């Protein structure tokens, strides 16, 4: 039997990278998948790929930094499939690189708006739908920078630390309602966002920071998301799970 048979899942930022890998895997494991992204072209391509392989999916365009888009996303999901079992809050941006004293204010607002406020807005509406459904699982994608810091990335570091703390708080609030909430801390993963930000030399340097000696793959992170979203992780809530090639063990 497929792991997510009869489950309905929202995955934000699933037009590419980790979100896309999770959407494809979830569909393969039997879930009805709501692909959501700010990039409609990319999102529709993911839906087409899922449907080509026999899966069930549809696309909802959403900017997670807007509360109304998160509300509309959940409403569209429940209207289409009748319920919400799993939410993966994955949408995120890297933001500018600069020391705090020189960091652009608009950059700070954008990173916090998408990476932290977007997760709060998403859960605000997802939790309401899951309560009506009698439970569910929320997986929030943080980062290794949810546990440690990086110079020049004050907004990203702060936002991902915030995601980890917010996930723990919500897990405590909703444990009695059979809603589990966990966060994941990927190391440096080879995604379009990373590839667009680093040249070949920088990628080699970043790869060397991981004891396993390489960057992670989106599909490797998706496997952990799948486990946390599924009933196989039924006693796991309020936790932070690194998937980082040993980065945080140093």
| Number of folded domains that form the chain | 1
CA distance 175 to 179: 6
Catalytically active residues are 156
Does 150 reside within a domain? yes
Residue 158 has pLDDT above 80, yes or no: yes
Q: pLDDT tens digit string along 56-80?
A: 999 999 999 999 999 999 999 999 9
CATH code: domain of residue 219: 3.40.50.720
Write out pLDDT tens, residues 197-215. 778 888 899 999 999 999 9
Residue 1 domain-assigned? Answer: no
Q: What pLDDT sits at residue 192?
A: 78
Other C-beta atoms within 10 Å of 116: how many?
A: 22
Domain residues for the domain of 215 are 8-249
Kindly state whether residue 2 falls inside one of the protein's structural domains.
no
Alpha-carbon 205 to chain mean position = 25
Q: Tell me, what's the pLDDT at 202?
A: 87
- Whether residue 156 is predicted with pLDDT greater than 80 in this model: the reply is yes
Distance separating alpha carbons of residues 13 and 20, to the nearest angstrom: 8
User: What is the rounded CA–CA span in Å between residue 207 and residue 190?
Assistant: 10
Q: What's the average model confidence in pLDDT over 138-153?
A: 98
Residue 73 lies in a domain: yes
Is the model's pLDDT at 195 over the cut of 80? no
Q: Average model confidence (pLDDT) for the chain?
A: 97
- Euclidean distance between the first and the last CA atom of the chain, given in angstroms as a whole number: 39
Let me know if residue 3 belongs to a domain.
Answer: no
pTM for the full model? 0.97
Amino acid 111: pLDDT: 98
Is 132 a domain residue?
yes
Query: Could you tell me the CA-to-CA distances from 54 to 47, 183, 225 in Å, in that order?
Result: 11, 29, 21
């Amino acid at each position: 039997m497929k792991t997510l048979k009869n489950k309905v899942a929202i995955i934000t930022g699933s037009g590419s990278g980790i979100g896309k890998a999770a959407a494809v895997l979830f569909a393969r494991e039997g879930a009805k998948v709501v692909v959501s992204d700010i990039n409609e072209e990319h999102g529709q391509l993911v839906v087409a790929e899922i449907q080509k392989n026999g899966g069930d999916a549809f696309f909802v365009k959403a900017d997670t930094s807007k509360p109304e888009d998160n509300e509309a996303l959940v409403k569209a999901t429940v209207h289409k499939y009748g319920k919400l079992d799993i939410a993966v809050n994955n949408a995120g941006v890297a933001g500018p690189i600069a020391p705090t004293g020189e960091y652009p204010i608009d950059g700070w607002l954008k990173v916090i708006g998408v990476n932290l406020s977007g997760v709060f807005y998403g859960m605000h509406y997802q939790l309401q739908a899951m309560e009506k459904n009698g439970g569910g699982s929320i997986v929030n994608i943080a980062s290794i920078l949810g546990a440690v810091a990086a110079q020049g990335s004050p907004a990203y570091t702060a936002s991902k630390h915030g995601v980890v703390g917010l996930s723990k708080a919500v897990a405590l609030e909703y444990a009695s309602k059979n809603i589990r909430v966990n966060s994941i801390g990927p190391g440096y993963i080879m995604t379009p966002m990373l590839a667009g930000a680093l040249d070949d030399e920088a990628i080699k340097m970043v790869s060397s920071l991981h004891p396993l000696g390489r960057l992670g793959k989106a599909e490797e992170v998706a496997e952990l998301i799948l486990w946390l979203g599924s009933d196989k992780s039924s006693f796991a809530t309020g936790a932070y799970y690194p998937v980082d090639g040993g980065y945080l063990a140093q």
